[in-house]
Structure 1
Amino acid sequence: MTVVDVHTHMIPPSLVETIAGGDGPDGIGVEEQGGIPQLVYADGRRYPVRPIFGDVAAKLEQMDGDGIDVSVVSLPSTHLPYWLDPKETARLCRVINDGMSALSAAAPGRIYGMASVPMNEPRAAAEELRRARRELGLAGLAIGTSVEEIGLDAEELDPIWRTAVELGTPIFLHPYRSMTKEPPAELADFHLSNVIGNPLETFVAASRLILAGALDRHPELTFQLAHGGGSLPYQLGRLDHAYHAVAGAGAAAAKRPLAYLDHFLFDTVIFEPRALEYLISLVGAERVVFGTDRPFEMADLSGTAIAKTASRCDAERILGANALEALGIEPAVASERVPDRQRSGL
């Protein structure tokens, strides 16, 4: 059984080096604290870049300990540079993607990088996506749930979606930071901007893609939703009811919300076996993919929950087969992977 982690993050060392060397955009710097570089933003945000984020050997060691064969890595969404001038965003995305390609090349068949593109300049984003896929061989596209104040359903983003379809590109949709940047007072403490805000961001983004007609304009688009789809699977009935019952709620969508589930894959980062069991029953095992959110403190390593809530066949799909098919990737040869008997908790 091949285990594929579709929700895990790395930061290319070349990105940190570019910023530390003075070649980064205004508003982002690098400072060291306790021997660990920190990405420091003009708005006061600080993020330590621990070795596990960029050291391939450390990443592989962690994967082996977790029983994971393949990691599909994306930049943490807090570092997506959508807030910059579009030209600066495009320049930084090239650095990010070159770095993701280097990480992939350092562990072929075990680490696959996802591209970042300048979503705030759609035509440049389409060009960078072509480069990332055709020249760099990156496995897919990772995006935030919004582009600052622009929703993913906006027609101005259509060039990106057309290019993604043209290239057969899977899209990983991850909460951006609309809830953590300026959270409502009720979410400002207890880590609620993450615990509640992140699933809410995904729910809002997916709902708008459905209700605003974006998935009708691009019927071949598929999005992998982080954190089990956020609140979407558990409030889908409410969304569907509003479509039928409230004037204007579904005016732009060709079908009821329940009919769009085939446009989404849902990862397993939800921590609770009963919630995972419900997710599988709602969308089918063929639409669920394994993820961890490593290396963050909100990582979910409950791989045993999958075995408890699914048949052997469904577990094989969820743990790896679905991701391999969706991404069109090949794992490392068996001798280079972790034997099943050595897997921790899977």
Structure 2
Amino acid sequence: MAVTGNIRAGVVDVHAHWLPDDLLSLPPGSPLGEMNDRDGNLFLGDHPLFLATEAMTDIDAVIADTATAGLGARAVSAPPFAFPVFFPAEADDYITAYNDHLEQAVASSGGTLVGLGLVRVDDVDAARREMARLAGMPGIAGVAVPPLVQGRSYGNGVMREVLGAAVDTDLAVLVHPMQLPRPEWQDHYLVNLIGNPVETTTAVASLLLSGVMDELPDLRICFVHGGGCAPALLGRWGHGWRSREDVRHGSSRSPAEPFTQLYFDTVTHDPEVLRLLTAHAAPNRILCGSDYPFDMAQPQPVQFLVDHGLSPDALEGNGRAFLGIRP
């Protein structure tokens, strides 16, 4: 179902996070513990997140910060710590509660917020049931999902079927990394600085080389952080596709072609990386993103894009098309 109603005019930020106070406990199995407030600052277990708790939990603060950033509207989704991936069969109540809270938050925002809900990616029947419910909620545009779960991505199996369910229910899909730990990334915040773009890159490659976009041409799917390393590796993937049967056996087109069907946000932190992304992606698939309210957020998302040649009108139109916002 398309998002209808009076969504505020202006650039749409598709990549921002919100979680209500009473769901800071996170779904079952969170490996780092619950999110918690300490003197107005947000922690994940004992790890500081270096942001004010109200920026993540207070919907009025989110709305005010959206206006301050020069945005018309913002699509909010759960932080990746809240993805129901560790014990998903035990997370249905958490998913339902988050999506109900999200519907209420969006309805109270005066057209400033659009919602991207939670859904399981391990069970296509459960995903379909919740997507059908989300599709009936005014102001809910789609779902936010992780790029990888237990070493698998969207090239085959249940995760691929979940994308088909999103198409069937006319929901957008935002793919956000989870900072999966690896021993070599334990220092210097490398789990984010390297891990996040690598997770995203893996999911992009899985999608392109498995023929998902041939099977699901109407899929509206966005990869955050500028697609990770994917724009820089697209030529390498194309060479492999032309040279090796095991690379191309799942797809009928060189990866550069279906790449133009994917959406990407603009959280690149570097104008040269932004130029590389816009050189490979379709102009109508570039979306404003911020990663609000995290410390790795693009602090002035609109100004960054305008300063480097992107049109606010085009960005607004692209965001509305991705989210299915219609008059």
Q: Pick closer, same or farther for the CA change 1:30–1:133 going to 2, 3 Å.
A: same
Q: RMSD in angstroms over aligned alpha carbons?
A: 2.4
Aligned to 1:83: 86
Does residue 55 of the first structure (1) align with residue 53 of the second (2)? no
Task: Kindly state the Cα deviation for residue 124 of structure 1 after the two structures are TM-superposed.
Answer: 0.3
Q: Deviations over 1:72-110 (max 9, x none)?
A: 001111221211141x22221111111111210120310
Aligned to 2:135: 133
Aligned to 2:318: 322
Percent of residue pairs identical: 27
Distance in 2 (CA, whole Å) between partners of 1:79 and 1:128 is 16
Q: Pick closer, same or farther for the CA change 1:302–1:219 going to 2, 3 Å.
A: closer
Q: Pick closer, same or farther for the CA change 1:26–1:246 going to 2, 3 Å.
A: closer
Residue from 256, 267, 276 that aligns with 2:265: 267
Q: Deviations over 1:16-49 (max 9, x none)?
A: 3xx49xxx74665465533556554xxx767687
Task: Kindly state the Cα deviation for residue 52 of structure 1 after the two structures are TM-superposed.
Answer: 1.0
Residue type of the alignment partner of 2:313: E
Q: Pick closer, same or farther for the CA change 1:30–1:250 going to 2, 3 Å.
A: closer
Q: Deviations over 1:273-306 (max 9, x none)?
A: 1221232232232111111111011011253332
TM-score by length of 2: 0.88
Task: Kindly state the Cα deviation for residue 235 of structure 1 after the two structures are TM-superposed.
Answer: 1.0
Does residue 190 of the first structure (1) align with residue 188 of the second (2)? yes
Q: Pick closer, same or farther for the CA change 1:192–1:80 going to 2, 3 Å.
A: same
Q: Note the residue ranges of structure 2 that are not aligned, 5 or more in a row.
A: 1-8
Q: Deviations over 1:294-335 (max 9, x none)?
A: 101101125333223326xx44212x111012212269xxxx
Q: Which has the larger radius of gyration?
A: 1
Aligned to 2:19: 11
8 Å contact from structure 1 (residues 125, 160) kept in 2? yes
Does residue 170 of the first structure (1) align with residue 190 of the second (2)? no
Q: Deviations over 1:53-78 (max 9, x none)?
A: 12121112211221112010011112
Residue type of the alignment partner of 1:70: A
Q: Pick closer, same or farther for the CA change 1:26–1:268 going to 2, 3 Å.
A: closer
Q: Pick closer, same or farther for the CA change 1:62–1:49 going to 2, 3 Å.
A: closer
Aligned to 2:3: none
Q: Pick closer, same or farther for the CA change 1:26–1:321 going to 2, 3 Å.
A: closer
Does residue 33 of the first structure (1) align with residue 35 of the second (2)? no
8 Å contact from structure 1 (residues 39, 49) kept in 2? no
Aligned to 1:145: 147
- Mapping 1:180-219, distance limit 5 Å: 182-185=181-184, 187-219=185-217
Aligned to 2:74: 71
Distance in 2 (CA, whole Å) between partners of 1:247 and 1:162 is 26
8 Å contact from structure 1 (residues 212, 252) kept in 2? yes
Task: Kindly state the Cα deviation for residue 262 of structure 1 after the two structures are TM-superposed.
Answer: 3.1
Residue type of the alignment partner of 1:34: D
8 Å contact from structure 1 (residues 171, 222) kept in 2? yes
Distance in 2 (CA, whole Å) between partners of 1:134 and 1:102 is 13
Task: Kindly state the Cα deviation for residue 2 of structure 1 after the two structures are TM-superposed.
Answer: 0.9
Q: Note the residue ranges of structure 1 that are not aligned, 5 or more in a row.
A: 332-346
8 Å contact from structure 1 (residues 38, 49) kept in 2? no
Aligned to 2:10: 2
Residue from 104, 107, 117 that aligns with 2:106: 104
- Mapping 1:253-264, distance limit 5 Å: 253-264=251-262
8 Å contact from structure 2 (residues 29, 86) kept in 1? no
Q: Which has the higher helix share?
A: 1
TM-score by length of 1: 0.83
Q: Pick closer, same or farther for the CA change 1:45–1:126 going to 2, 3 Å.
A: farther
The count of aligned residue pairs is: 315
SS of the residue corresponding to residue 247 of structure 2 reads coil
Aligned to 1:239: 237
Distance in 1 (CA, whole Å) between partners of 2:96 and 2:137 is 12
**Bigger Cα displacement from structure 2, 280-289 vs 220-229:** 280-289
Q: Deviations over 1:115-166 (max 9, x none)?
A: 1101122210111011012145411111110123332222223442222111
